[in-house]
Chain A
Amino acid sequence: AQTVTQSQPEMSVQEAETVTLSCTYDTSESDYYLFWYKQPPSRQMILVIRQEAYKQQNATENRFSVNFQKAAKSFSLKISDSQLGDAAMYFCAYPSNFGNEKLTFGTGTRLTIIP
């Protein structure tokens, strides 16, 4: 079975500082996507960033970037200049089929921003 592991149930960071959330996954595929989703206290899950495994370059979206280590099967999320609105549960997800319909989610990391 596909597995996605988020080893940090909770993290906290000072406002304006940088924080990195870790994620590891298990796969035998060579070409796939990886996703980070954010679920704020209002519960609407939204996509933060995605990475395509065949791309060498790490994905970046404004203050959010990933450190993708394909050989190590590691996909960490870095949040720079943390803001109060970044407080949420963050889920790493890996698709177990080529069409990305069958997503396996990690257990999540609860991020707290300290003013």
Chain B
Amino acid sequence: ETGVTQTPRHLVMGMTNKKSLKCEQHLGHNAMYWYKQSAKKPLELMFVYNFKEQTENNSVPSRFSPECPNSSHLFLHLHTLQPEDSALYLCASSQVPDEQYFGPGTRLTVT
């Protein structure tokens, strides 16, 4: 595997479910990111981890819980989501301050 990978690629979950999104980067970068991409809205930065430390939480609801166990892996734990949370969730990594490399995304549908 090369670049930034994300699993699963598609996820359908009920509002009472708990699920996790996984991101892995194979680029040796020191920062990782979660973004939310909704239709007709700009890409929204959710969380930033720099050297495994969270450096940004962009007022994200607590039903989204990130975890960064090491500089290569990033998780987004989901619980009691709302239908408006349905979106494409993109993971990215970078070697600060260089450009960010994105994964293919997880298409999340909350029913």
Residue of A nearest to B96 (CB): A99
Alpha-carbon separation in the docked complex, A20 to B97 (Å): 27
Q: Are B104 and A43 in contact (CB under 8 A)?
A: yes
Is A101 a contact of B56 with CB atoms below 8 Å?
A: yes
A101-B31, A101-B94 given; A91·B43 CB < 8 A = yes
Pair A106/B94 contact, Cβ less than 8 Å: no
**CA of A97 to CA of B27, assembled, Å:** 22
A-B contact list, 21 entries, CB within 8 Å? A33-B97, A33-B99, A43-B105, A44-B102, A44-B105, A45-B90, A46-B102, A91-B43, A99-B31, A99-B50, A99-B97, A100-B94, A101-B56, A101-B94, A101-B96, A103-B43, A104-B42, A105-B42, A106-B42, A107-B40, A108-B42
**Interface residue ranges, B against A (CB under 8 Å):** 31, 33, 40-43, 45, 48, 50, 55-56, 88, 90, 92, 94, 96-105
